[in-house]
Amino acid sequence: MGKAGQPPTVLVVEPRAADLERTRLLLAEAGFRVVPVTRFDAAVPLFEVIRPSAVLLAAQAPDFAAVQVARRLRQLSHGAVPLLYLVDERDAEARRYCLERGQCVDLVPRSGSGTELATKLHAQLKLKDAVMRAAAGEEAGTAQALHDPVTGLYNRPFLLELLSLEARRAERYGGGFSVLAAEVGGWSAFRKEFGRGMAERLLVYSAVVLGQTVRDADAVARVGDCQFALMLPGTPAESVQEVVSRVAARFETARFQVEGKVVRASLELGTVSFPDSVGTPTQLLSAAFQDMRRAREFRRMVGSASRLSV
């Protein structure tokens, strides 16, 4: 949010002069202070000078310079400033690219209404403000209370708080999000064979692989002994399978070494999407793990049927 008594400042980077002026007018009418610029190479220097409340970046082929700038701004702000992409509604390539490789929480239609743009900006600012207050200890105790001591990921209580905030945002302003449940396969047997210390190393390894696979905007948490969950903002049901495939493919190539041997880390996955499914944060998380268990049972049934037919 902006400083006390001042409107939030939004840095808008849009190469198309006409679209830039249109976006500037829409945001100004909604009460934002707008800093417009047409060149992506000017975005980082301006960002360091004005320290905006949020940034809008127009994303388009062929270079997708907006994504490169977003990565740099994420580093400079330590993830504390919301970044949103302006994407042409009919540009499927740009939408896919931003969802898969982008660094922001949400996408905004380039030609959308001023009301939609303003409400999405306000929603992101409020969500970020709430999360920052929690991280500072105003809502969730100390900063250490937000994280799992073994993996360093968010813990279950804080993930549930994030899900609650995201559900309220989606209910008020529209859009959706998904929850991805993940469980390290064979972890109990691994712990019995190699000990708890080595099993915790496997959890840390799995946490690192997950963190490297998803977007910076996605929240990753450890929610059980060998269970993880991810909140995927701005990811509807029709897009979540892309994330599942990417995570599964990453773990297919992952290798973990123990006592000189290479061990493959398998991961079982399940998903649920809001608003296709509704409920409390706990219910949404449970539904994602139920989907994971159904998928596991289906694989077992298929495997049994295959063996019987041989």
The answer to whether 100 and 246 are in contact (CB under 8 A) is yes
Residue 144 lies in a domain: no
DSSP H or E segment with residue 227: strand 227-233
Residue 130 is predicted with a pLDDT of 66
Q: Which amino acid is it at 138?
A: E
Residue with tokens 């800093």: 35
160 and 116 in a single domain? The answer is no
Asked if the model's pLDDT at residue 259 lies above 90, the reply is no
Q: How would residue 263 be classed by pLDDT, with cut points 50, 70 and 90?
A: confident
> Per residue, what are the HEC states of 61-84?
CCCCHHHHHHHHHHHHHCCCCCEE
The answer to whether 202 and 187 are in contact (CB under 8 A) is yes
Residue-averaged pLDDT of the chain: 83
Mean pLDDT over residues 43-64, rounded? 90
Asked if the model's pLDDT at residue 137 lies above 60, the reply is no
Q: What is the CATH number of the domain that holds 273?
A: 3.30.70.270
Share of residues in the chain with pLDDT > 70 (%) = 86
Q: What is the CATH number of the domain that holds 40?
A: 3.40.50.2300
28-38 residues labelled b (16+ CB within 10 A) or e (exposed)? eebebebbbbe
Residue 23 is predicted with a pLDDT of 92
Asked if the model's pLDDT at residue 186 lies above 60, the reply is yes
Mean pLDDT over residues 193-218, rounded? 86
Residue 140 is predicted with a pLDDT of 44
Residue 88 lies in a domain: yes
116 and 221 in a single domain? The answer is no
For residue 226, CA distances in Å to 118, 171, 298 come to 40, 31, 21
Residue 142 lies in a domain: no
In the β-sheet with 106-109, what is the strand arrangement from edge to edge?
33-37, 9-13, 54-58, 83-87, 106-109
pLDDT digits (tens, 9 = 90+) for 244-253: 998 988 888 8
81 and 24 in a single domain? The answer is yes
Residue 145 lies in a domain: no
DSSP state of 151: T
CA 61 from centre of chain: 23
104 and 168 in a single domain? The answer is no
160 and 298 in a single domain? The answer is yes
248 and 121 in a single domain? The answer is no
pLDDT digits (tens, 9 = 90+) for 31-40: 999 999 999 9
Q: 194 lies in which domain range?
A: 156-302
Give the torsion sign (CA, 131, 95, 75, 32): negative
Asked if the model's pLDDT at residue 142 lies above 50, the reply is no
Tally of structural domains, the chain: 2
